[in-house]
Amino acid sequence: MILVRMTLAIDGWFTIDDNGACLIGTRCAACGTVAFPPRHGFCPSPRCESESMAETRLSRRGRIWSYTNACYPPPAPFVAAEPYLPVTLAAVELAEEGIVVLGQVKDLTVDDLQVGMEVELTHGALADGPLVWMWGRVS
């Protein structure tokens, strides 16, 4: 067994295990509303007064709700690759959770994407090394 130490770009928002990358959100114990990034305290639903949000793993597949590319490097603290390579971004709807999660897209360009296309959560490294969740082809 090989142990590899991974540095995640944001602790507590996702995990990577033998099954791949998985986003971590929170679900309201009273009404089932899901939040991502994970939040504790008040339920985000305006119709619910619960303060009981428990961590939950989110669906690993969703459908593209919208997408674009970033042809200019974002400002600091983002560390851009040199030379800068355009990054593809997708907002992906998770049907079961009823939320849309933004992420970089791995190994696909805007020419490969369509609204409604199914994608699967994966991960990749940012230019400065830490791993982040990304959307990619369904395996």
Contact positions toward Zn ion, by CB under 5 A? 28, 30-31, 33, 43, 45, 48, 50
CB of 43 or CB of 105, closer to Zn ion: 43
- DSSP code at position 76: T
The nearest distance, CB 61 to Zn ion, in angstroms, is 25
CB of 43 or CB of 121, closer to Zn ion: 43
The nearest distance, CB 94 to Zn ion, in angstroms, is 17
The nearest distance, CB 55 to Zn ion, in angstroms, is 15
Main-chain dihedrals φ then ψ at residue 108, nearest 5 degrees: -135, 150
Q: How many CA atoms lie within 13 A of 92 on its CB side?
A: 30
The widest CA-to-CA distance across the chain, in whole angstroms, is: 49
CA–CA dist 137, 125 (Å, integer): 17
